[in-house]
Structure 1
């Protein structure tokens, strides 16, 4: 059977889906050589009568089931992060509930979890005191849940800080009071334009020095850093300058195979949005790496980069649309609906290419179901087979 897919030129062409999925059975055993988190998406409630700008309506059963899927393959879950549409449809009240529910599920299943701590309850002009208080509220909730905290970049801090000294002050304050070591997240403006100039400078070399100063002042309170700048060379340079015991978690969805594989001077662990749709494939590759087989790891993971680069193409922040499309096609949810209506953020040719690339990798457990669902989406746009 074939399916007609629209290309970037607007023309329809025939594509023949594969019939054999990638066979990756859940293991449950944790990965050994790398710590790997998948930043997981949320499943919207498609039947909720939600108006634009209203609080998100989440399908909690489907959302938690997807986290159990990731844990079953030995991956950790990075919760309430950018992939979960934090700041793009998911408000703080919903994010807080997500943290509580997912952390409880992690305890029940023995899964690893780390949760995002931000300041998104602030909706207007804020002072540095407001920013600190907002961070503190979220940090307390995450710590009470039993999850590791990820201090995310703050839009409010980016808008309020007068310079590097304000970042040093706010982060120093938070690290001093953190009960356990946290992960610091540097999210680049390609993921969120409001974060331009984070750490007090738009010059990345200058910003890097401030970031390192924060870590150097409190190395015992920093488990690791998550770097999402889509710049492999900069990540490697930064990784080599970290204090002993501080990990680098790559957030580079363009260059993750080489960064995780590492070099003679070290490697990156992973905290990636692309490991949401790639969960089983990523776990399989890391298990090969666990045996010391770097070549085999690269042979498995390198072919996935084309899909990742497609999903994360400019404007990068809308990668979540492709992630949720693939979750629907793979059977992890029964609809292609997103909180905030974000399913409309990418064009039909973009979604069609995402389907084609994922199918080519064998990511769909049931290729026929994926084809049928893709055809139903195409039909909504007027494409009939």
Structure 2
């Protein structure tokens, strides 16, 4: 099948058949999930989020069916970029309730707790109270807690001590170990200088001091700095038993293979491939025969390698607009009826960018129904005068 795109003519390779098995081995793996906007709702910029709940929950079932955990109400779900607190609170409750059909919600879904519902919070006590409200909401739903980086704390903090004061109180509110999220400024410019310094080495020292001081209450740390060497060094410096969840959507294959766990937005878009690759990794690490071990490692690389080009395109600068490519692929693959996003964010990437995402997804074997994908791509081209 062939399609003419503004970026050139493309002949589709067609989908790959992925194993039905989920990830094996020792890695804990979360896909950060997007929300599906109601295409008939008023999702213009600044309007309250109108969500298609049926499609949103159906997509989470898709991720669980591949053996992936779900990280919900995170930046992939457009926190701080259109998903208001009312919709976030409902998402947390619905996602955790839906997870019960698959097992323990606390094991299957972890949700972001932040301070975005209190945009004017300035003092440390007010910021702590805002965090506490969201942590209570997540725990009441039965989900695990991911403590998100706070724009309000980044603005108010005068140094590492302020971060330690706030987070120290939050650990006391948690009913089980939490995941800490270090989101780099490429994902959110308002988080520059998080942990008390714009110098990454100084910020890392502050972060590690906090984690070591509260290690029993830290399940893991999710790091999204897109710096492979930094992540490897940080992983080695963590206390025993604290996981490093890679958030590096550029270098995840090598980081996961070398020992990182994962909490990734790109896994929303490549779930079947991610599950198959991680299953191969588990088989490789369990193999006693060296030839079998090498064969499974080769399969891991062969599955993941073409997804990296796709991920780097989706997450290219400005990185925070990556959600548009994630939702675009969900639409091409029939997970939702419209290419629509809360806050009108479907317009955040150019037509040529989306054409390249289409091509790279096909090369990675990730267009599940080529006929549907081509029909929808042609419809998008027509709307844009092509």
Q: Residues 263-313 of structure 1: CA distance to partner in whole angstroms, max 9, x if unpaired?
A: xxxx10000000001001000000011112333212211221000000000
Unaligned runs of 5+ in 1: 8-12
> Do the aligned partners of 1:33 and 1:289 also contact (CA within 8 Å) in 2?
no
Question: Could you say which residue in structure 1 is the equivalent of 2:377?
Answer: 374
> Do the aligned partners of 2:151 and 2:191 also contact (CA within 8 Å) in 1?
yes
Question: Could you say which residue in structure 1 is the equivalent of 2:351?
Answer: 348
1:25 Cα shift? 4.8
1:149 Cα shift? 0.4
Distance 1:298 1:362 in 2: 14
Q: Residues 308-332 of structure 1: CA distance to partner in whole angstroms, max 9, x if unpaired?
A: 0000000000000000000000110
Match of residue 56, structure 1, among 45, 49, 55 = 49
1:61 Cα shift? 0.1
Stretch deviating more after TM superposition (122-131 or 211-220):
122-131
> Do the aligned partners of 1:17 and 1:371 also contact (CA within 8 Å) in 2?
no
CA-based RMSD? 1.2
Distance 1:106 1:319 in 2: 26
Please state if 1:36 is matched with 2:29.
Answer: yes
Please state if 1:301 is matched with 2:301.
Answer: no
1:32 Cα shift? 3.0
Distance 1:204 1:51 in 2: 37
Structure 2 SS opposite 1:119: coil
Q: Residues 158-210 of structure 1: CA distance to partner in whole angstroms, max 9, x if unpaired?
A: 01111110001001111122110000000000000000000010000000011
1:347 Cα shift? 0.4
Report 1:1-385 matches (<5 A): 1-7=1-7, 13-18=8-13, 20-27=14-21, 31-110=24-103, 112-262=108-258, 267-292=259-284, 293-383=296-386
Q: Residues 236-278 of structure 1: CA distance to partner in whole angstroms, max 9, x if unpaired?
A: 000000000000000000000000000xxxx100000000010
Structure 1 SS opposite 2:268: coil
1:51 Cα shift? 4.5
> Do the aligned partners of 2:23 and 2:279 also contact (CA within 8 Å) in 1?
no
Distance 1:30 1:104 in 2: 23
Unaligned runs of 5+ in 2: 285-295
Q: Which runs of 4+ in 1 moved over 6 A?
A: none
> Do the aligned partners of 1:33 and 1:286 also contact (CA within 8 Å) in 2?
no
Structure 2 SS opposite 1:149: strand
1:31 Cα shift? 3.3
In 2 relative to 1, CA 180–47 (structure 1 residues): closer, same or farther, beyond 3 Å? same
Structure showing the higher helix proportion among its residues: 2
Structure 1 SS opposite 2:145: strand
Structure 1 SS opposite 2:180: strand
Distance 1:186 1:50 in 2: 29
Question: Could you say which residue in structure 2 is the equivalent of 1:10?
Answer: none
Structure 1 SS opposite 2:101: helix
1:30 Cα shift? 5.7
> Do the aligned partners of 1:117 and 1:138 also contact (CA within 8 Å) in 2?
yes
1:125 Cα shift? 4.8
> Do the aligned partners of 1:31 and 1:75 also contact (CA within 8 Å) in 2?
no
